[in-house]
């Protein structure tokens, strides 16, 4: 063989080997469009996704959208342009995603929905799976806990005025937690929601809105018996407002929160909050597993719910089959 052909052969062999090793080393690239960092829950969710992707050796392009839909839309569009392998997505609100979901589908990028859901025609056609909590059930559990609590305190049938701090307007947990709670209280006409407003899932707004609930209740001469907050962060802010108004949270006003973050456990142990309904943000490992399953050619279930509990320091002593002790589980909380 002539030298020039030999050199060409060597070149081709080297090229093939390089390409093969590049393919073997090629990391899976995941774009994740996160809502923001509005709560301890969300921070727990972000940490869980980051850690699980790092453990799996994925390259993660992570965007914090600061609770703004337009930021999420541009992050998703950027993921398409970059040609990521997978998209992870927690939509801040339910609607307004039709166009982008179609674009992602056309680009052939599998989407894994985490935590919140979208509302568009045939929405399940646009994602491989959705992993999260049953928010309607969380609302129902909150109301059922309240009925049990009133029962053991001999307040069954008493007129009970409830104020509600809703989550982000138009988000699936805010819509569903309200629906779930109302599903139960509608059969109990003595339980009334007297004021209801959004606190956007933040502690700061939870406090501000609770202050206005208290002012309005005072001027109307109406007692507030219960606060139902769609997340613990808002409940913590409201507790502050209640204290500043000279009332005793957890006693003068029964406080119900959702998420089961560490701070809620601390408030329960301090007697300032009564119960927290768990919603787990630790979805990173399931998110990574879903990607691995798709890589292996499996078809995923469209919905995966996480298993969650209710924690308090009163009913868990009497009904341990239904409620868990906050004190006992506090040391093992990770968010
Ligand atoms: O309850 C709240 C957060 O979407 C389930 O978002 C999540 C909610 C969670 O900021 O704290």
What pLDDT digit, counting tens, does each position of 41-72 carry? 999 999 999 999 999 999 999 999 999 999 99
pLDDT grade, residue 16 (50/70/90)?
low
Taking CA atoms only, the protein residue closest to ligand 1 atom 8 is 173
Q: Which of 42, 39, 76 is nearest to 61 (CA)?
A: 76
pLDDT in tens, 180-204: 999 999 999 999 999 999 999 999 9
Q: Residue 124 pLDDT more than 60?
A: yes
| Across 14-23, 151-160, 223-232, least confident range | 14-23
Mutate to test the pocket of ligand 1, among 115, 177, 200, 282 (most ligand atoms within 8 A of CB): 115
End-to-end CA gap in the chain:
68
221-244 average pLDDT score: 98
292 forms beta bridges with none
H/E segment holding residue 46: helix 40-56
* Residue among 311, 163, 168 nearest 238 (CA): 163
Rounded CA-CA distance 283/129 in Å is 13
Q: Is 11 a residue whose pLDDT tops 80?
A: no
- Residues 278-285: what's their mean pLDDT? 97
Domains 27-132+282-301 and 135-279+309-332 share a fold: yes
Other Cβ atoms less than 10 A from the Cβ of 282: the count is 16
pLDDT computed for residue 26 by the predictor: 83
Residue 315 CB-half CA count within 13 A: 23
Chain centroid to Cα 192, Å, comes to: 27
Atom of ligand 1 nearest to the CA of 41: 11
Cβ neighbours around 20 below 10 Å, total: 10
Average pLDDT, the chain: 94
* Residue (of 40, 94, 98, 34) closest to 67 by Cα position: 34
The pLDDT tens digits of the residues spanning 208-225 come to 999 999 999 999 999 999
Instruction: Specify the CATH number for 27-132+282-301; select among 2.40.50.140, 3.40.50.2300, 3.40.50.300, 1.10.150.120.
Output: 3.40.50.2300
Q: Which of 37, 39, 46, 200 is the best mutation target for the ligand 1 pocket, counting ligand atoms within 8 Å of the beta carbon and taking the most?
A: 39
State which ligand 1 atom lies nearest to the alpha carbon of 172.
Answer: 4
| Residue that has been written with the tokens 């998110």 in this structure | 287
So what's the pLDDT on residue 307? 86
CATH pick for 135-279+309-332 out of 3.40.50.150, 3.40.50.450, 3.40.50.2300, 3.40.50.620: 3.40.50.2300
Q: What is the helix, strand, coil percentage profile of the chain, to 5?
A: 50, 20, 35
The sign one gets for the Cα dihedral 177, 182, 183, 188 is positive
Residue 44 in contact with ligand 1 by CB distance below 6 A:
no
**Domain chopping of the chain, boundaries:** 27-132+282-301, 135-279+309-332
Does ligand 1 lie within 6 Å of residue 233's CB atom? yes
Is 22's pLDDT higher than 60? no
Tokens coding 335: 């968010």
> 277 pLDDT exceeds 70?
yes
Both tokens assigned to 225: 């018996």
Q: Give the Å distance between the CA of 267 and the centre of ligand 1.
A: 18
Instruction: Please give the share of the chain, as a percent, with pLDDT higher than 70.
Output: 93
């Amino acid at each position: 063989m002539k030298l020039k052909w030999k050199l060409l052969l060597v070149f081709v062999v080297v090229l093939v080997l390089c390409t093969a090793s590049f393919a073997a080393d090629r990391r899976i690239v995941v774009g994740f469009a996160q809502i923001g960092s509005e709560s301890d829950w969300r921070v727990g969710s972000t940490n869980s996704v980051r850690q699980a992707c790092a453990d799996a050796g994925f390259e993660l392009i992570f965007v914090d959208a600061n609770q703004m839909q337009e930021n999420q839309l541009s992050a998703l569009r950027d993921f398409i342009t970059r040609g990521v392998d997978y998209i992870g997505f927690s939509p801040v609100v339910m609607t307004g995603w039709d166009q982008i979901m179609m674009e992602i589908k056309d680009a052939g990028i599998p989407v894994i929905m985490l935590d919140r859901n979208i509302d568009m025609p045939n929405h399940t056609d646009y994602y491989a799976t959705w992993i999260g909590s049953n928010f309607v059930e969380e609302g129902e559990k909150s109301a059922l806990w309240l009925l049990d609590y009133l029962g053991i305190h001999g307040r069954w049938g008493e007129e009970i005025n409830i104020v509600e701090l809703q989550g982000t307007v138009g988000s699936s947990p805010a819509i569903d937690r309200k629906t779930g709670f109302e599903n139960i209280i509608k059969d109990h006409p003595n339980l009334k929601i007297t004021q209801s407003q959004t606190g956007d899932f933040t502690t700061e707004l939870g406090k501000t809105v609770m202050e206005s609930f208290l002012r309005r209740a005072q001027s109307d001469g109406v007692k507030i018996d219960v606060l139902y907050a769609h997340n613990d962060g808002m409940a913590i802010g409201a507790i502050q407002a209640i204290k500043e108004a000279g009332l005793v949270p957890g006693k003068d006003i029964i406080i119900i929160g959702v998420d089961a973050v560490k701070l809620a456990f601390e408030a329960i142990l301090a007697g300032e909050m009564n119960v927290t309904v768990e919603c787990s943000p630790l979805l990173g490992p399931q998110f990574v597993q879903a990607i691995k399953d798709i890589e292996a050619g499996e078809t995923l279930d469209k919905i995966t719910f996480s298993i969650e509990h209710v924690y308090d320091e009163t009913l868990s002593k009497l009904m341990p089959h239904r409620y868990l002790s906050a004190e006992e589980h506090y040391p093992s909380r990770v968010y």
